Every structure is written in C-alpha cells, then in structure tokens.
Amino acid sequence: MAEKVLHVITGLNIGGAERALYNILAGGLVERFDSAVLALGDTGAFEERLRGLGIPVHALGMRPGMPNPLSLLHLRRVVRKIQPDLIQGWMYHGNLAASAATAVTSGSSPVVWNVRHSLYDLDDEKRSTQWVIRAGRCLSSRPEAVIYNSRLAREQHEAFGFASARGRVIPNGFEVSALGPDADLRARMRQAIGISYGAIVVGHVARFHPMKDHVGFLRASVAVARAVPRVHFLLAGREVYADNPELTGIVPAELMGRFHFLGGRDDVPDLMRVMDVFCTSSAWGEAFPNVIGEAMASEVPCVVTDVGDSAEIVGDTGMVVQPRNEKSLEKALRAMLEKPDEERRAMGKAARSRVVDQYALSAIVDAYSGVYEGLLGGCK
C-alpha cells in the first residue's frame, strides 16, 4: 500500500505555490503516494482540480493572523484522521503548520518544508509575515528537509539563519506538452479580449501586490505605448483591474484602448498564446515565478527583473533588467518589440527548448519522490 503524504498549504486560490503543488501531483506524484491536501484557510480554484485527481481536500477555514486554539484542535483532528506517513508544508505558514501537526498529534511522521519566496529585506514583508519567517528560522532544524524552489532563495534564507544542513533546491517543473503555440486559440482569444490580429501583445500575469510592482510596469508600458503604436498590453491577476485605486490614472485615457485589464484568470496557459512578449516586473520576493516557465514553454520570449532565479531561468533566451527601474524596463521592452518578428519567434523557440532541457515536470516529480522515498525508507 502506498505511503500517505499530506500537503499543508496556506490556501488553494490561483497562485504560484498552489499551481506548483497541483502540477507535481498531476504530473505523477499522486500515482506514487497516497496524497491528501490541507488548506489552512479556505479552498479556492484548485480544490476542484485536486479532487478531479482523486485527492481528498480539507480546509481549516483559518482567518489571516495568529492561529487560535480551536484551529490547532481542528488541525489535530484532520491529521489524526488522515494519519500521514509524511507531511509536506508549502510556504511559510504551511511549513509551521506542518511542524505543528506532528507536535499536536505526538506523531513521528517526517516533515518537509517548502520555501517559495526570496528574502532580500525582511522589512519588505508584512509584520505578521516577518514573525512567521523568524519563527521558521528558529524551527528550521526540525524538519527532515527544507526544499527551496530557487538557488537564490536557499542562499538568502540560510544566510538569515535557516538550517543549511536541511536545504536542497528543486525548481518548478512544467508539462511542456500542455503548453505551446496554438494559432486558432490565439485568434479566438484575441477576438474575445478585443485585440486585433496584427497587434504585438506584451503580457503581465501577477496578483496585485506591491512586490509585483504593477505601478512600475504600467509607467514603463505607457512610455512604450507612445513609441510603438502596434503594441497592446494584457494584464491578468487578482485585483488587477483598471479601477484599482492604486492603478487608476497611470494609463492616460487616449491609451486605455490598448491596455486590457482582465483580473484573476484560471486560463493562464491560454493567455500565454495571445502574447508575443511576456514581462515580469517584480521588485522583490520572487523565487521561481511559474509564469516565466509557462511563457517560455509557450514560445514567448521574456523580459524579466533580476529577482530570485528569474535571470537564471531565462538564460540567453530573454532580457533581464534590474528591479524597480522603470527606465531600464521601458528600454528592454522597446528593444524586444523592435526586433523583427522572426527574431522574437526564434527566441521563443529557444526558450521552450530551455524549459524542456532544464525544467521538465517529470524530472521535478522524480526529485520530490526521491526526497520522500529517502525519508520514508529511513523510517521503516
């Protein structure tokens, strides 16, 4: 009988960690281990997808902030019901909850943490998140392994005091066969969004958060739009709307027809097929953005800020600029858009080949399996 692995994660809304969890389970991990998922808050868009894989999904319904005793009691009940052989935490809060799960049940199941955030300056984080990161530093010698999805994130956290003996890097993986150009879908999606066939589209996919620097991206994009009449900008992500109070007024009225604010979407792979260039503008916090790998696998060349492992991911298939530098971002976007279409397409093909060679989902699933099997074998 397959060993039971419980994945503990903050929530199941659309996000990078949530997508990565779903990807490795759907990519074969669910066939190797009897898997269950526990969301600390409420479930979200990924609940139905996980259940479609036959995976039980539980939710504690915790509100943001410090956990209360009732939450710990609920956690204990769920974990005792599942009786996992191994507990995998995801993100800072999920990691602490994974460790707490063994404490409240007096269990001996090995615990694995998964850190998916870079750590440039603790002051950039919310006060409550700062507390959780500090708590993680104090407790990081307790889990049997700490997985980071980027090399830089590991270096930064271990410099901050996370236990170095436990660390290892497993990047995000992508099912490349499910991604790639689709001319018919591209045409249909463009028509639905209101983008003409001949337009050049720059895409940006990120939830609204200061670390994503939507303001900087829009300011750079307005300058690009004035210089490149064919360019349209497509923005998707939770709370990314034209009437978001922190974004209103940046795009002048005469250019709004070329800026498409879509809000949260669960069809990001389809949106990638609409784009000619993909951009991330993050100022801090990223470790390994899923959206960069998805864009590259879709043959879309990228312009990225040098945050986390973004520069390492794109290699020589895209362009890299320093974060929080609107002029540099504008210059890189213009340079990418001024390239002949054939050159951009060649860069996109090279980007897809890079993902196939270095970030294939099957290899990432094997890496997680290797960690679990090593720990579970040691417990027998």
Domain assignments of the chain as residue spans, ordered by start: 4-173+360-379, 176-358
Query: Could you tell me which CATH class the domain 4-173+360-379 is placed in?
Result: alpha beta
What is the CA angle 330-335-340, rounded to 5? 145
* pLDDT value at 231 more than 90: yes
* pLDDT value at 287 more than 80: yes
94-148, pLDDT tens digit by residue?
999 999 888 766 667 899 999 999 999 998 888 888 999 999 999 999 999 999 9
Can 4-173+360-379 and 176-358 be said to share one CATH topology?
A: yes
**Mean predicted lDDT score pLDDT of the chain:** 93
pTM, two decimal places? 0.91
Mean pLDDT of 238-245: 95
Q: Residues in the chain, how many? A: 380
* pLDDT value at 70 more than 90: no
What is the per-residue pLDDT for 124? 86
pLDDT band at 366 (very low <50, low <70, confident <90, very high): very high
What is the CA angle 317-322-324, rounded to 5? 130
Q: What is the SS3 string spanning the chain?
A: CCCEEEEEECCCCCCHHHHHHHHHHHHHHHHHCEEEEEECCCCCHHHHHHHHCCCCEEECCCCCCCCCHHHHHHHHHHHHHHCCCEEEEEHHHHHHHHHHHHHHHCCCCCEEEEECCCCCCHHHCCHHHHHHHHHHHHHCCCCCEEEECCHHHHHHHHHHCCCHHHEEECCCCECHHHCCCCHHHHHHHHHHHCCCCCCEEEEEECCCCHHHCHHHHHHHHHHHHHHCCCEEEEEECCCCCCCCCCCCCCCCHHHHHHEEECCCCCCHHHHHCCCCEEECCCCCCCCCCHHHHHHHHCCCCEEEECCCCHHHHHHHHCEEECCCCHHHHHHHHHHHHHCCHHHHHHHHHHHHHHHHHHCEHHHHHHHHHHHHHHHHHHHC
CATH classification of 176-358 is 3.40.50.2000, yes or no? yes
* pLDDT value at 42 more than 90: no
Mean pLDDT of 274-283: 97
Which of 20, 262, 46, 271 has its CA nearest to residue 150? 20
d(CA 187, CA 264): 21
The least confident of 58-67, 332-341, 362-371 is 58-67
What is the per-residue pLDDT for 68? 63
8 Å CB contact between 308 and 267? no
pLDDT band at 86 (very low <50, low <70, confident <90, very high): very high
d(CA 300, CA 275): 7
What are φ and ψ of residue 38, in 5° steps? -120, 120
